[in-house]
Structure 1
Amino acid sequence: MTKFFTLIPAAGSGSRMSSELPKQYLYLDNKPMIYHSINTLYHNQLITSIFVVLAPDDCDWIKYDWSEFSSKLIALNCGGATRAESVLNGLTTAKQKGLIDTNDWILVHDAARPCLTAAQLEKLINELTHDEVGGLLAVPVSDTLKRSNIQDRVTHTEPRENLWQAQTPQMFRYELLIKALQNAEKLHFTDDASAIEALGFHPKLIQSDAYNFKVTYPRDLALAELIIQQRNNP
């Protein structure tokens, strides 16, 4: 029977946050940021395990109490220099440990998207379970997009029709995802769907909303804090 696994690449430093502490450990509502992603994934009944891929020298993970997620949570200290490398290393390690079968679904989610909701996650799984390729959460682009030159002058306006902003989780079967990542090791893709596309496949876009944004800059942290506090104290 096909199973569902999630993988969170968490080996990065989050340099754009201007913090010495890796971004995934910055506090949101009195919890490290990655806690909120884990919490949403953990409470989905279809998800068997959550793999968190950490840097080999990560000394921060063990400072926190993760016992409430112990029935599903597995930390793997095999992160790489890039996101794609961390995902590939995590999948390879999990397979070597006999934890994943080739036909299982893998949902790769960013540690820095703490505002993912249970409804978004459920919608993604329900709409892709019988899909031949897999897909990802995304939102249609609504803003006017400008292309600039190196002097930050507008060169032209990009048409926004059929443009989407990619989010996570991104959901693909293990066998296809591992093949795509191995094929794309030197191409430096910023998400898993791009690696799938490079093989000639067309991932399905599952409409999400702007609340599932990626925390990248300090100002994003304040917005995520507000959203999570409002959800926890309706």
Structure 2
Amino acid sequence: MSHYYGLVPAAGTGSRMGVDLPKQYLQIAGRPMIYYAVRAMASSPRIAQVFVVLAADDAWWDEYDWAEFAGKLQVLRCGGATRADSVTNGLAAMGVDAQDWVLVHDAARPCLTGAMIASLIDAVGETEIGGLLAIPVADTLKRARGLHVSATEPREGLWQAQTPQMFRHAMLQQALSLDNGFIPTDEASAMEALGHAPLLVAADSSNFKVTYPNDLTMARLMLAQERAET
């Protein structure tokens, strides 16, 4: 029987946030943003262990107390220059079986819930390819030339990818090691480059990625509401 593992690549700097601190360490209610991504994954009874991939010279992680995740959380200081590099290095260091499932989740998606994780695992089941959380595109899409609209793109059939993205360990390793000059921006695109068609599992917009300062404000509000309701 396959096991499920979480992998959180967190070696980036988050330059679009306009701050010196890597964005995964920006504060939400007194905790670094990555805490909430780790908490969601570690709290799932179906995930055996959560691996966090840090840059080798990360100076912030050890400033926080991670004791509540003891026994389920392992830090891997093998982050790379790109997300794909960090995931590749993390996969190599995990030491799990080839057919085990790996759920790769962004450190900057702090509003992930246990229900979303369960929905992904249930939908993918024991399929061979795997899948990802995503939402259908609702807004009208404009292609730009400079700062002017050059075309309106049809949105039918378009989905916005989220995380976790869940694939078997060996297959994801193979996809990320493909040497064809293509640099994948997520795990699903690496799988697509191998000719696979990952399953789209409908999530919702609350599982957004914190990219710009206003996103952080929204995440703080949502997590504050969660605390008020519990």
TM-score per shorter chain, which class? over 0.9
Paired letter, 2:3: K
Match of 2:142 in 1: 146
Match of 2:102 in 1: 106
CA gap 1:80/1:92 in 2 versus in 1, 3 angstroms = same
What's the RMSD between the two structures over aligned residues? 1.0
Residue 213, structure 1, aligned to residue 208, structure 2: yes
Residue 128, structure 1, aligned to residue 107, structure 2: no
CA contact (8 A) 1:40 1:118 kept: yes
Match of 1:168 in 2: 163
Match of 1:58 in 2: 58
**Structure 2 unmatched ranges of 5 or more:** none
Q: How far apart are the structure 2 equivalents of 1:104 and 1:31?
A: 31
Q: How far apart are the structure 1 equivalents of 2:181 and 2:11?
A: 18
Aligned length: 229
* Deviation of the 1:185 alpha carbon: 7.5
Match of 2:67 in 1: 67
CA offsets 1:189-222 (integer angstroms, 9 cap, x no match): 1100000000000000000000100000111100
Paired letter, 2:147: D
Alignment of 1:167-206 (within 5 A): 167-183=162-178, 186-206=181-201
CA offsets 1:68-99 (integer angstroms, 9 cap, x no match): 0011100000000000000000010113xxxx
CA contact (8 A) 1:85 1:185 kept: no
CA contact (8 A) 1:84 1:185 kept: no
SS of residue in 2 equivalent to 1:92: helix
Residue 115, structure 1, aligned to residue 127, structure 2: no
* Deviation of the 1:129 alpha carbon: 2.0
* Deviation of the 1:184 alpha carbon: 5.3
Match of 1:228 in 2: 223
CA offsets 1:130-169 (integer angstroms, 9 cap, x no match): 22210000000010001111x2211111000000000000
- TM-score for both structures, normalised by structure 2: 0.98
**Structure 1 unmatched ranges of 5 or more:** none
Q: How far apart are the structure 2 equivalents of 1:186 and 1:58?
A: 29
- TM-score for both structures, normalised by structure 1: 0.96
Paired letter, 1:81: A
